[in-house]
Structure 1
Amino acid sequence: MNIVIKYNFIIALILGVLSFSSCKSFIPESIDALGEDVNYVIKEFSPTLGRKTIYENAANLSNTSTLPLSFKIVNVRGVDGSPANELTDKFPVKVWKGNYTGDEKSIEEIEAKREVEYHSIFEIGKNSGNIMFWDYGNSNWIKTQPDSCYLFDVEISNSGGRKYARNLRLKPFKERPYEPSQYDASTGLATRAALPPAYVSNLLGEKTGDFIFDIEVYVFKDVENKAPGGTLKISVLDSMNNPIDIKKFKDTDWKGMIHGFNQRFEGEKAVYDVAYPMPLVKYSTKYTTSDGGRARINLRNNRIGFGGFLSQSQLGFDFAIYEEGHWEIQFRFRGESPKFDND
C-alpha cells in the first residue's frame, strides 16, 4: 500500500511539473515601466502662425520608463471647453521628400523634392513627443495672443500603462510674413515705419562725401499680382523716392546672391523667380547667413577714391519671407544718394 501511494505521488509530481512547463508561455516575462517623471517640461507653446515650428525635447522621457513611448494629442479645446476643430482638421502643406542642398538649378528641381500632404496644423511626434505647428493658417480663424487661446492634453503610454499631461497651453502669435518685422507679435500693429539694413560699409554721400548711414528698408508684397509662382524684386530709392538704377551696384554677385532663377533687370530693379519660404529650410548655404536662418542681400560697388585707392562699399540686408507670392525689398536713402563714380 505504501508503495502504491509513493508511486502515485511521484506520478502526480511529474504531471504537475509538465503542466507548469506547458503553461508558462502564458505568463508575461516582463511588463513595460511607465515612470512617474514622464511629463512635459514645456507647458506653453507659442508658435508664430504661417511658419513651420518644431518644439524638440518638449517632453521628459524619463530614465525609468520603457521605450518607446507613444504620444497622442487629445481633447484640443478653447479655454471655455469648446472643441477647437480649426486645429484638428486637415489642411494641405508642403512636405520635403528629398534633401535640400542649395545646389538646385531650377524651381522645378526644388518642387520635385516637395509634395503636398494633408495634416492637422497642430501635431505631435508619435514616439518623441515633439510638438509641431505647420506653416498654414492665419489669425482670421485661429485664436492668437493676447487671447487665452487653447488648452490640450497629451496621452503618454506604453504596454505598462498610460498617463496624461493635462492642460498644456497653445498661445500662437499673429502671423508676421517676414523677418525682421516691424509688426508686434501680439497686437499685429506696426511699431515703426521701416527696418534698418543689416550692415552698411563705406558708402559715401554724392554731395557731401560723408559716410551714409540714414537708410531704411521696406519689405512688401504685391497683393495685386495674382500670377502663379513667386518672385523677389530688389530696388533702391533716393531721398526724393526716385528710383536709383540698381545696376549701379555693379560689383554685386547677382547670380550668387539669391537662390533664385531667371535673374534679370526690369527697369531699375533686380528680379528673381524664387520658391518660398526664403530660405527654404534652415540650412547654411552661400545664399544665407552662417546659421542658415536668413537669406542675404549684399549690394556691392567698387570705385576709385581720393588718392587712387580702391573704395569698396556694401549695403546688406538679412531676411526671411514665409509667405508665397510676389515680394519686393526696397532700400531708401533718406539723406543723400551714394556716390558711384570714381573721384
Structure 2
Amino acid sequence: MNKKVYSILMIGAISVLASSCYKKWLPGEKPYFSNNCNFSQDQYTVYPDRTNVFYGIFNSDYSTQPMEISLTNMTHSDGTPAPELTGQVDVLQWKDYYSGTEKSVDEIQAKRFSVKRPSFDIRSTSGDIIFWPSDTTNIKPGTYIFDVIAKNAAGQKTFQKFKLNVKRPRPYEPWYFNDDTGERNTENIDGQTVPAYQHPSLSGVKDQQNIDIKNTDVRIYYVWKQSPTNTFSIKIYDKDSLPISFSRFNATKWDSIRYYSQSANLNVQFGFNRRFSEDSTVVTYDRTNPYPVLADMQGERAEISLTYERRYSGSRTFGGIRFSFALFKQGGWDIIVKFSKNPRFEND
C-alpha cells in the first residue's frame, strides 16, 4: 500500500472515530408531544354492510413519531358499555395491488387475504378510523360514544365523547331510502311528490309515437336473491312487464363494455364470465363483493351503456340508456330496468 492511500485511509478512520466520540457527548433528542394534536372530526357515520374508512383525520402537530393511538370507553348513547364494537370479524385486506387488468374474480381474490379485526378499529400509528363490515344482529343501528387516546413517550391526550353513528345497511347504491326509518325517499317530478327511484340517463329513446321518453319514465329496481356465488343479472321490461331482448340493443359492443376505476386509473372490465339466457332477455356476470372491487373504499361505481340503432325519417339514429351502480351484499342480484312507456326499436 503506498503512503498516499494509507494516509487517506487513516484520515478517514480518525474522522469517523472523532465523529462517533462527538456524537456520544451530544445530548439525545428529546421526544415531543403536542397538546395541539387533533382530529378533524368528532362524528363518524358508517354503514355496517361495507368497509368505512376515515383517512387522514389525525394531525400530530409535529409530535414525535411513532405515536400510539387507540379507542377506549365505547358505550351506547345511554352510557351502557358497547362490547360488541370490539368483537372480532373476518375482513379482507390486500397483499397485492389491484391493477384493473385482472381477467377473473379468482385472480382478484388471490390478491386478498382474510384476517380478524375488531368491528370498530383504528390504525394505531396514523389514527385512521375504520368500521369493518359487520352483522346488524350484533351491532344495532344507533349512536355510540367513544374516546380516543393519542400518546407517545413524551405525553398523551384523550379525545372524549366522539360519536359513531351506525346507520341501516345500504346493500346497493344509489340508495333511495331513509337511513333511519327505512322508508323510501320522495322526489318531485313535474310538480308532483312521488316515491324516489333511480332513473337512467336516456339518449334518443323514443316511444311508439316517436316522442322522446324521459328518464323519469324509467325506473331501476335491485332485487337480491340467496346464491352461493356473487353475480348480477340485468333485465329490461316494457310497460306491460314483458321482457325486452338484449338483441334489440344492436349497437352495444358487449366485449368492449368498460367503466372507469379511480383506484386503477383506467377503464376496467365491466364484469366477468358474461352469459345470456337462451332468449337473450337476461345477461349475467360474475362479480366480486363488493362490486366494483373498491366500491366501499373509493366510492367507485360500475357503469353500463346499452345502445341501439334504427332508421327514423330516412336517417340513421341511435338510442341508449346508461346507469351506474354498486353492490355490497353477497349473493345474486337482479337489476331490473322498467319502462312505463314502450320504447320503439323498429325502423320507420
TM-score, length basis structure 1:
0.82
Cα distance change of structure 1 residues 125 and 26 upon mapping to structure 2, 3 Å threshold: farther
Q: Partner of 2:337 in structure 1?
A: 331
Larger radius of gyration: 1
**Superimposed CA distance per residue, residues 152-209 of structure 1 (whole angstroms, 9 cap, x where no aligned partner):** 111111110222111111111111111111211122222255623331000011x211
Q: 1:229 & 1:142 partners in 2: Cα distance?
A: 26
Q: Percent identity?
A: 31
Is the contact made by 1:194 and 1:216 (CA closer than 8 Å) also made in structure 2?
no
- 8 Å contact kept, 1:250–1:300: yes
2:209: which partner in 1? 208
* Match of residue 307 from structure 2: 300
Which residue of structure 1 lines up, in the alignment, with residue 175 of structure 2? Answer: 181
Q: Report the secondary structure of 1:244's partner residue.
A: coil
Cα separation, 1, equivalents of 2:49 and 2:347: 46
Q: Which runs of 4+ in 1 moved over 3 A?
A: 25-28
Amino acid at match of 1:73: L
- For residues 67 and 122 of structure 1, what CA distance do their matches in structure 2 show? 24
- Once the two structures are superposed, residues 6-28 of structure 1 have per-residue CA deviations (whole angstroms, 9 ceiling, x without a partner) of xxxxxxxxxxxxxxxxxxx8997
- Is 1:303–1:311's contact at 8 Å kept on the other side of the alignment? yes
Q: Which runs of 5+ in 1 are unaligned?
A: 1-24, 284-290
Instruction: Tell me the distance in 1 between the aligned counterparts of 2:184 and 2:256.
Output: 33
Is the 1:194–1:217 Cα contact (8 Å) retained in structure 2? no
In structure 2, do the counterparts of structure 1 residues 62 and 295 end up closer, same or farther at CA, with 3 Å as the change threshold?
A: same
Contact 1:152-1:168 within 8 A present in 2 as well: yes
The separation in 2 between residues aligned to 1:303 and 1:316, in whole angstroms, is 18
Residues 175-324 of structure 1 aligned to structure 2 (within 5 Å): 175-191=169-185, 195-205=197-207, 207-213=208-214, 214-222=217-225, 225-226=226-227, 228-257=228-257, 259-266=270-277, 267=279, 268-282=281-295, 293-307=300-314, 309-324=315-330
2:84 match: secondary structure: helix
Query: Is 1:84 aligned to 2:45, yes or no?
Result: no
| Correspondence 1:49 to 2:48 | yes
Is 1:153 equivalent to 2:150 in the alignment?
no
In the alignment, the residues of structure 1 paired with residue 102 and residue 119 of structure 2 have an alpha-carbon distance, to the nearest angstrom, of 28
Q: Distance in 2 between matches of 1:310 and 1:102?
A: 35
Once the 2 structures are TM-superposed, how far is the Cα of residue 125 of structure 1 from its aligned partner? 1.4
Tell me, yes or no, if the aligned pair for 1:260 and 1:273 is still in contact at 8 Å: yes
Stretches of structure 2 that go unaligned for 5 or more consecutive residues are 1-23, 187-194, 258-268
Alpha-carbon distance, 1:98 to partner = 1.5
Q: C-alpha root-mean-square deviation of aligned residues, in Å? A: 2.4
Taking the aligned partners of 2:115 and 2:247, their CA distance within structure 1 comes to 41
Structure number having the greater strand percentage? 2
In structure 2, C-alpha distance between the alignment counterparts of 1:154 and 1:27, rounded to whole Å: 36
Equivalents in 2 of 1:52, 1:240: separation in Å? 40
1:341 to 335, 338, 346: 346
Confirm whether residue 143 of structure 1 aligns to residue 140 of structure 2: yes
How many residue pairs get matched?
303
Q: What letter matches 2:243 in structure 1?
A: P
Deviates more, 1:248-257 or 1:233-242: 248-257
Measured at CA, do residues 282 and 120 of structure 1 come closer, stay the same or move farther in structure 2, by a change above 3 Å? same
Contact 2:174/2:198, CA 8 A, preserved across alignment: no
**1:233 CA displacement:** 0.5
